[in-house]
Structure 1
Amino acid sequence: RKRWVVWTPSGYYDASPGAEDLFGWHINGATDKEADFFPASRFRDTRYRPDLIARILQTGDEAEALRLADAERGSSEKVVAIAQALPPTVRITAPTGSVVVSETTLLLRYTVRATADAPAESIRVMIDGRPVATFAAASSAKEQSLTISIPERDCLVSIIASNRHAASVPDSVRVSWKGKAREPVARTAIAMKARPDLGQQVKPRLFLLAVGVSDYADKKLELKFAAKDAKDFAQTQLAQKDQVYSEVHLKLLPDAILNDIKDGLQWLEEQVTAGDVGMIFLAGHGVNDQANSYYFLPKDADLAKLKRSGLEFSTIKTTLSSLKGKALLFLDTCHSGNMTGGKKSLWDMTKMVNELGSDERGVVVFASSTGNQYSYEDERWNNGAFTKALVEGITGKADFMKKGRVTFTMLDLYVSERVKELTGEKQTPGTIKPALVADFLLALNL
């Protein structure tokens, strides 16, 4: 998959999903200190400006493009120099690189550096891209230590430090479990044994919240296939019981009101444990308000009162980021500029994808479109283009090598090309997998 970036002399940029870490700022320290590199993703909130980049192509002048972009936004923010907005840096001092273990605890030693006016505030420990511990950062710059519990398998342990500006680039150590590899086995099979074989790996449980809204209270918002999209996607996951997953727990909410969706999010948070997979599928309308905040529209949404009646992106983000197990989001939303009073939508789907898929969030994201593109549905497909491609891919068409399995990477490739084929290149899906998360199995088609 090709990725691209465009940036200005002042550091404003536009980028495709997952491309923000391909470039950034090299900051020199003292003469006896190593330099630091900060990827552009660390400055997303202030420097990611696709609206400005578009106007530079029209005006040829960065200052004029910034003025026009801010005027259309209706706001202007003072942007400080990069050197005054640096996140912390964190280094694992022991063990480094990789380590072989035979115990389920691991002692980590690490250091954190930050500027005097923005000290590190929190430390997050991740295993395979998912949070296992978060605590306040020490005020001292001296080496710190902590002991964590680790699973009886190979894994990647990472530490991320955050301050008031942003999260650090993670530092990681590869942990190799000493012992023979374990074969997957269902939880129920282990439960039936008087003395279970701990050398066998338990298949994960799946908890899926699937929401599709077609029948809106506001009839001008109605869609044809969003509710069906949610049902069809859910069926592909139910079929993976005893394949990829030992159990599949589904909360299907067709044409759901806001409170039911919030209850579903709470259900997901309460159920997903460290060995599970938590998944959200959303199909329907997504819009932004005048402050450029994104909302998913439930059945009872009132466009004039989005804060009260819409599902805010921050709520979705908080739920997925807090899940103890692997977290995935499938987002098939159709957002239209004329739904907010004729004002062209300024929301960029790419920003949301990149934010959720960042290392500190650890969420795997499939989005139906990028930028401010529309997401299309059509009676010829009996689905939205994105969901049709997902269902086809998961049920076998993404298995290019005919080995009876579909991974994230395989599904990403299939969906990206299939959606463009269906829509005549008018819709480009956006997918991102955090760097700390390895490729993983999504479906078995044996």
Structure 2
Amino acid sequence: GDLIDTGSLDLRPPRLTTPAFEVRDWRGRKVLETAATENGQVTRNQIALDLEERALSLAYAPGDEPYFVLGTNFAIRKYAFRGSLLQTIAVPAGAQRLTVTPDGRLYVAVLGDGTIRWYDAARGRELFAVYVSPKDQRWIGWTPNGRYDGSPGSDELLGWQINRGPDREPLFYSAQVFGSLFYTTDLGARVLRSLEIPDAPEPATLLARLVPVVELFGEPEVAVGKLTVEFQIKAPSGRPITGLRATINGVAAEVDTSEGPVPADTRIRLTFDLPPGAETNRTFSLSASHDDNVYGDAAERGFQVVGRDAPQQDEFKQERLLGLVVGISDYRDPGIPDLRFGERDATEVTAAFQRQLSRFYKQVDLQTLVGAQATRANIINALESIRRKRPSTLDTVLLFFAGHGVPDPNNPAGGAQAGRYFFVTHDANYSGGELAATAFSYTDLYAFIRETEGRQLVFLDTCYSGLVSETGAAVQSFARLPKPDANGIAREAGRLGAYVVAATTGNAVAYEDERLQNGALTFALLEAMDGRANDLPLSENRRITTAGLRLHLESTIKRVTNNRQKPAILDLNTEAVEIAAVVPPNPSFGALIPAPAQ
């Protein structure tokens, strides 16, 4: 979950003095002077930088090494103590701060573009860069060839520009489009330990994965409860466009594509029914996909609805809430440690969403599997039964899992295969070495999300395996399994269009607590659903939104676990989408608990 294992890098402030020599009056200068003392004699030498180049930062070498490193607005330059130039590394923005690690292997620079970059001192090349959003502290780190790691939702901070020739405008794709190819767990730590950059896919592989790009023209037209938009879609991969996804203020709008593929590079007009609502200012978004159901970045336009153009105002409820809720406390395999509150988590979440009937959803149809019912076969059958109910874009689909989560048993380290996740079912066979064949697989989860219409809410209160206190070789063996990469899980499920909440970030542990009587994620979710969350931002209609729930879950989980746990949440909606009403408190639900003592 951490950006980089900074403790292993021994990062210290730059060394600004050395007894052997000094660089005088250098800051902001184009001409510098070095003064070195040898055999009692002081030798001075001048260093002239390039035209328009100025010194911005400086660090002396560690130990007794006779060199220094200078950061300028164009480069990082290494000089011998007498002033001779030894090395030049071009930088994309001025090196405002600069240091050399104590072992001399790395230069670390803070650049004027807001990034921190690490450079291989021996080979003079960039290894790794990091950007942290000042707005919400999302971070993303990448190598020069495009491999990246980051917090949930950070994919939009990085992307690729695809040039299409001198007479056509380039296209931009955010990193999430190529996430399964380039996302690499713990990338920064691996690169900076080894000083090697892992290989990346060839450009031809990227071209085959390019998703359609939607371009909206002009302002949306609003008239008597209807919205008309004009758009065209670019398909640089040349594959047929088979899917369109439209929303109005985050509410799905039906798009009929049954007549065949949507033509590329052709202007199209579509008219939608405006959903009821009191808002004057609204947002329309449209994205497209090929037959793999992977959607590109949505194009957006704001518009206003006033007076007679507004649809008939009526109490607005979503259509159906369909879903599956699974919780496991006891496992058949004695080698899998039991949990305390998995089944309780599932039954209480089911009850909370059942109370949404007639308050927010016109129909609530949830299947709950707890304990011995929660087998792999039963989970697969339950998901298939949801598919048979043919959810539409106006429906919401809920998936909730509480129990153990583990990485791919055949590739436990994860690496570039991040997002390979297995939910440990009641009948999973870990002791017999058949966990991959008997647990609920990430391929089943992602296939369901990809192939199922509707707004999808996915909650994974899993990854408890590090909290095992039982004795026994088999149980301890399970406890030592690596934790699944929650960021990768959220990213892979989220890029398919789901609102995803994993209990932890990175490879961290999720906590059960006797005081909570729930997993920390479940406790925070129930607190919001039952109307007991004082910090939960609500919509104008006093409803729970995806954005408000995210803020509440992040703050509450950190509070009740004393900052030991932070959820991984990915929400690609740019609007705050309403997902539930605030329901009067359930008397059986405990009161808010104070934060643990520091």
TM-score (norm 1): 0.80
Q: Is 1:179 the counterpart of 2:306 in the alignment? A: no
| 1:140-199 C-alpha deviation (Å, 9 max, x unpaired) | 8652647676565577351324488975333355677773344444xxxxxxxxxxxxxx
* Residue matched to 2:460: 331
1:48/1:263 CA distance change after superposition, 3 Å = same
State the alpha-carbon separation in 2 of the partners of residues 206 and 294 from structure 1.
25
Q: Which AA in structure 2 matches 1:410?
A: G
Instruction: Name the SS for the 2:210 alignment partner.
Output: coil
Residues 202-217 of structure 1 aligned to structure 2 (within 5 Å):
202-217=317-332
1:169 paired to 2:297: yes
Q: Equivalent of 2:508, from 360, 364, 373?
A: 373
Alignment of 1:15-414 (within 5 A): 15-59=150-194, 61-63=195-197, 66=198, 79-81=201-203, 85=207, 87-92=210-215, 95-102=217-224, 109-114=231-236, 118-128=237-247, 132=255, 137=261, 142-143=265-266, 145=268, 150=273, 152=275, 156-162=284-290, 168-172=296-300, 179-185=309-315, 201-219=316-334, 220-255=336-371, 256-271=374-389, 272-287=391-406, 288-291=408-411, 292=414, 293-303=420-430, 304-334=433-463, 336=465, 345=482, 347-358=484-495, 361-400=496-535, 405-414=543-552
Between the aligned residues of both structures, percent identity stands at: 27
Of structures 1 and 2, the one scoring higher in RCO (CA 8 A, sep 6+) is: 1
Q: How many angstroms apart in 2 are the aligned matches of 1:141 and 1:184?
A: 38
Whole-angstrom distance in 2 between the partners of 1:376 and 1:419: 10
Measured in 1, the distance between the counterparts of 2:509 and 2:350 equals 23
Pick the structure with more helix per residue: 1
Once residues 351 and 407 of structure 1 are traced to their aligned partners in structure 2, the CA distance between those partners, rounded to angstroms, is 24
What residue is the counterpart of 1:193 in the other structure? none
Q: Is the 8 A contact 2:491 2:570 kept in 1?
A: yes
Shift of 1:419: 1.1
Structure 1 pair 407–161 and aligned structure 2 pair: CA distance change class (3 A): closer
User: Displacement, 1:4?
Assistant: 0.9
Distance in 2 (CA, whole Å) between partners of 1:240 and 1:161 is 32
Q: 1:307 to 1:88 in 2, by over 3 A?
A: same
Paired residue secondary structure (1:204): strand
**Structure 1: distance between partners of 2:440 and 2:332:** 15
How far did 1:203 drift?
A: 4.0
Structure 2 CA distance for aligned equivalents of residues 221 and 342 of structure 1: 8
Q: What secondary structure, in the 3-state scheme, does the structure 2 residue paired with 1:318 have?
A: helix
2:562 maps to 1:424: yes
How many residues in Structure 1 have an aligned counterpart in Structure 2? 411
Give the AA of the match of 1:33: R
Q: Which runs of 4+ in 1 moved over 6 A?
A: 163-166, 175-178, 337-343
Equivalent-residue separation in structure 2 for 1:414 and 1:202 (angstroms): 23
1:349 is aligned with what amino acid?
A
Stretch of structure 1 that moved more, 169-178 or 21-30: 169-178
Counterparts of 1:127 and 1:300 in 2: how far apart (Å)? 40
SS in 2 for 1:49: coil
Cα gap change, 1:155 to 1:260, in 2 (>3 Å): farther
C-alpha separation in 1, matches of 2:294 and 2:398? 26
Cα 1:437–1:298 change in 2 (3 A) is farther
Q: Secondary structure at the match of 1:41?
A: helix
- How far apart, in 2, do the equivalents of 1:141 and 1:273 lie? 25
Segment of structure 1 superposing worse, 2-11 or 223-232? 2-11
State the distance in 2 between where 1:398 and 1:82 align: 50
Which SS does the other structure have where 1:38 is aligned? strand
**Superposed CA RMSD:** 3.4
Assess, with a 3 A threshold, how the Cα gap between structure 1 residues 134 and 346 changes in structure 2: closer, same or farther.
farther
**CA contact under 8 A between 2:157 and 2:174: conserved in structure 1?**
yes
Structure with bigger gyration radius: 2
Unaligned runs of 5+ in 2: 1-135, 277-281, 415-419, 467-474, 585-598
CA distance in 2, matches of 1:277, 1:252: 16
Deviation of 1:55 after TM superposition, in Å, equals 1.5
